[in-house]
Amino acid sequence: MAKAFASAGDLTEKKTSFTEIGDGLYAFTAEGDPNSGVIIGDDGVMVVEAQATPRLARKVIDCVREVTDKPITHLVLTHYHAVRVLGASAYGAPQVIMSDAARGMVAERGKEDWDSEFARFPRLFQGHEEIPGLTWPTTTFSDSMTVYLGKRRVEIMHLGRAHTAGDAVVWVPDAEVMFTGDIVEYRSACYCGDGHFADWGETLSNIAAFDPVAIAPGRGDALQGREMVAKALASTADFLESTYRPAARVAARGGTLKEAWNAVRAECDPKFSDYAIYEHCLPFNVSRAYDEAMGIDTPRVWTAERDRQMWDALQE
């Protein structure tokens, strides 16, 4: 039987967890589905990542209401991907924050990404009829910005290209906790289809330089303790290198995308095949690694049509 495309065959609802990772700081996780973060300040709440739909966003809101009745005043979106941003309307946050680069990517490819991800993740987009349209920020920043939730200072920064060109991280200095979005994953495949392999490792090093005591990653369990943080940073770096290196070797000798796919599988399957969304990510990761090795710096726009063409070519 033919393999299902991406996560089209994954229709099982995931168990969610809401884990305290610092004083007034929480990670909402869901067995490899996209995570969200919660930062409780003196007079309001910041949520990091909106989820794919208002339906899923309400699960995060329900968790927030279990621990505080303070209003949700800020929503930070670490990048532009549909599964991260299209639930934003449910929060009613007066401030919706993205990097300048991420906002530019909404304008450039947001609709195409929505159409593409809708086919990749049908389970995540249940209730999509409530989505009012593309999510646009009210506030953007270039390199960094500071938000005060009362006395609690929150730093929102762009530390380099990685999962996308516009990734943001959120740092809470009083607790030494960081929310990294999909720059860091834990026992989940990195999605690299819009990534920058050459820069990602340095961005991981920039995160490590903060020496966080805890991280809420993009997917996977909350990372608590410096030992677990270091392990996740190392495994993320290994995943990226193990994907890019074999694809680049194939590209350098003029090999085909299918040959790159076989080479990456040979390297990655023994180490990462049990990671969440591994099979989902692999074709997109190989395609992007091959393109970058061929000198294509800006990732090509994924559309539903391009997804299918790529998938069909790799199944031949």
Residue 289 vs residue 120, higher pLDDT: 289
Q: Token digits for 303?
A: 């559309």
> Does 8 have pLDDT greater than 90?
no
Identify any residues that bridge with 17 across adjacent strands, giving them in sequence order: 29
Distance CA 35, CA 41 (A): 20
- Are the beta carbons of 227 and 280 closer than 8 angstroms? no
For residue 22, what pLDDT is reported? 98
H or E segment to which residue 97 belongs:
strand 95-99
For residue 12, what pLDDT is reported? 76
Contacts with 9 (C-beta within 8 Å, 6 or more apart), sequence order: none
pLDDT digits (tens, 9 = 90+) for 277-310: 999 999 999 999 999 999 999 999 999 889 888 8
Distance CA 209, CA 233 (A): 11
Q: What is the pLDDT averaged over residues 97-115?
A: 97
- CA nearest to 273, candidates 187, 178, 185: 187
SS3 217: strand
For residue 178, what pLDDT is reported? 98
Distance CA 93, CA 248 (A): 43
The model's pTM is 0.95
Identify any residues that bridge with 146 across adjacent strands, giving them in sequence order: 155
For the chain, the residue count is 316
Q: What is the pLDDT averaged over residues 212-235?
A: 98
Q: What is the pLDDT averaged over residues 205-217?
A: 98
Q: What is the pLDDT averaged over residues 59-87?
A: 98
Contacts with 107 (C-beta within 8 Å, 6 or more apart), sequence order: none
Q: Token digits for 268?
A: 């990655």
> Does 1 have pLDDT greater than 50?
no
For residue 4, what pLDDT is reported? 62
> Does 2 have pLDDT greater than 60?
no
- CA nearest to 236, candidates 300, 178, 192: 192
